[in-house]
Chain A
Amino acid sequence: MKDNNLEIIYQRPESMQDVPTHYCPGCGHGTAHRLIAEVIDELGIRERTVGIAPVGCAVLAYDYFNFDVTEAAHGRPPAVATGMKRVRPDLIIFTYQGDGDLAAIGTAEIIHAANRGEKITVIFVNNGIYGMTGGQMAPTTLISQKTATSPRGRTFQNEGPPLKVCEMLAPLDGTAYIARGALNKPANILKAREYIKQAFLNQIEGRRFSLVELLSACPTYWHLSPSESMKKITEEVIPNFPLGVIKDER
């Protein structure tokens, strides 16, 4: 086939840098980054988007995205985003946060940013574990799941049940859109992409707080292979964290 008969149907989004990532095999961050980058390209907002990178495995997200990014202290991205969006409502501001960042140390910041109805987009990557620091228990760790700090498995009595962030935020009047997707198989990934796109579209159209939770794997600290991890998401994680659009006030 001659070159001029070839059509590019899939390539690196402009919103991604052409660099390798440091993520482990089977980790969901690479997929999540790409989905965000694709959506930003598609919506044509790359040149007015500012991202806020978390503390955790995605701390280096600013090396992979091809738009302006700032770091933030652990848990504080929603407050940083608030300061930015209030000062420059014309910008598209999103936070990228893990479960330790958003659901433990940053619980106050996420609840109050949501309750104030900040017109920001939050991408919440939930892999049920602290990956960067070596596999400690997260607020979203499943019951009986063993981690470095729950070596006998998480129990309802001792650590409480996993925190369901979407269900916690959806009743707040400040939130416009809350959805949960999973990064374990193509159908779910495409669905998650739709949620992410809607969450950015809401901000472009001036709607209130939007959050998309992405169920993601950490094969390294789940001590499973990547394919076993995808199966675990299907069989154990999704039953605890139901997928779908939980709130949509369009």
Chain B
Amino acid sequence: MNSETTTQPILICGNEAIGEAAIQAGCMAYFGYPITPQNELTAYMATWMPEKGRVFIQSESELAAISMVFGASTLGVRAMTSSSSPGISLKQEGISYLAGCELPAVIVNISRGGPGLGNIGPAQADYFQATRGGGHGDYRTPVLAGASVQELADVTFLAFDMADRYRTPVLILGDGILGQMMEPVRITHPEPVDIESKDWILGGAKGRPPRVIKSLFLGTGALDAHNRKLQERYRIIREKEVRYEAYMTDDAELIMVAYGITARLCREVVRNLRRDGYKVGLFRPITLWPFPSVQIAELCRTAKGFLSVEMSYGQMVDDVRLAVNGKLPVEFFGNGGGEILTVGEIEEFTRELILS
């Protein structure tokens, strides 16, 4: 492990890959609080950020960590925090303020089983929280979901770029498996960091009028005008930033929809069922918000039905149903115990669904 751009693949876990990518993306400040299963990321940043002359603080709480991110972001630097499900619930206060104040930030959720303390196993039960804003108020945050250690690193670069471009907090949603498992990765970011000139940052009103960063709008119509501006930005994000992978969907009659580690399992199910002659495909959203609704709607012209597979008891399936809009049946398969699904059980359910 090192913090130089690597040309040879290195073997690291997902949490470390996010940390390394963040450093290479120019993250100048990281604030974290211990929680399993994301601790390797905090430890990686504790090791490497000071080496680079950058800021690392282990905060007193997740509330403080996200507020430290807020502070760093007001000065225009790239800042990040990470946690897992219960900790992300605490960070929602700060995420709402970041959204309201139009501040860029990257928040990583290596999610685990819930509700409450749940357990420390992998889960996809935070989809609702991630994609519906999460905190209070009328806002959205882009949510990026990788399906491999390599892709976690890739979406980390993207997260920082999107956060700066749209002045918004961006979430990276992984799970306990992706965070912990090791895979060979190449982490390189040859493109220059895309930071547009930030004419809004604080840093001393030298030779200019003072600037204020706030989310409070008391005058009649003022908050509505502010929220309309945010909504317009979300419209542009929806238009430009949808990312997904379609695997053997062109002629598929049944299209499985899955993200993150679950999509890796479903890909194998598709391969197995294809061998047996079943026309099955996989549609994998990479942006959970904006959700690839248009692309799923288009698939309704060729497919006969959808199957959403998740490590939850049915969250993303709501978005699939909204996209399909009643045109075709949408089925669901999942679990909720902080345990990974198996290829066997997904395949069995899918086979029975096809034959029914």
Q: Which residues of B contact A (CB under 8 A)?
A: 28-29, 31, 55, 57, 59-61, 63-65, 67-75, 77, 79, 93-94, 97, 101, 202-207, 210-216
* 9-residue interface stretch from A41-49, A152-160, A195-203, A212-220: A41-49
A12 to B125, CA, bound (A): 56
CB-CB under 8 A from A52, the residues of chain B are 71
- CB proximity to B under 8 Å, residues A81-122: 81-84, 86-88, 91, 108-109, 111-112, 116
Number of A-B pairs whose CB atoms are under 8 Å? 132
> What A residues does B55 contact at CB under 8 A?
83, 86-87
Bound together, the chains give a CA A72 to CA B74 distance in angstroms of: 11
A59 on interface, CB distance cutoff 8 Å = yes
Chain A residue numbers with a CB within 8 Å of B72 are 83-84, 86-87
- Choice from B67, B75, B216 contacting A79 with Cβ under 8 Å: B67
Measured in the bound complex, the distance between the Cα atoms of B321 and A99 in whole Å is 49
Which B-chain residue is minimally distant from A84 (CB atoms)? B71
Known contacts A71-B213, A88-B75, A112-B60: does B204 contact A83 (CB below 8 Å)? Answer: no
In the complex, what distance in Å separates the CA atom of A23 from the CA atom of B135?
Answer: 31
Q: Is the CB of A70 within 8 A of B204?
A: no
Given contacts A50-B202, A80-B70, A83-B79, contact A71 B64 (CB under 8 A): no
In the bound assembly, the distance between CA atoms of A102 and B174 in angstroms comes to 35
How many angstroms from the CA of A84 to the CA of B31 in the assembled complex?
A: 12
Is the beta-carbon distance between B74 and A62 smaller than 8 angstroms? no
B31 pairs with A70, CB closer than 8 A = no
Known A83-B72, A87-B28; judge A76-B64 contact (CB<8 A).
yes
Does A68 reach chain B (CB closer than 8 Å)? yes
Q: How far is the CA of A72 from the CA of B68 in the complex (A)?
A: 10
User: For residue B70, which residues in chain A have a CB less than 8 angstroms away from its CB?
Assistant: 70, 72-73, 76, 79-80, 83
- Does A69 belong to the interface (CB within 8 Å)? yes
Chain B hits for A50, CB < 8 A = 74-75, 202-204
Contact partners of A73 in chain B: CB under 8 A: 63, 67, 70, 93-94, 97
Contact residues in B for A112 (Cβ distance below 8 Å): 59-60, 64
Given contacts A50-B204, A68-B203, A71-B101, contact A79 B71 (CB under 8 A): yes
With a cutoff of 8 Å between Cβ atoms, the chain A residues found around residue B215 in the complex are 71
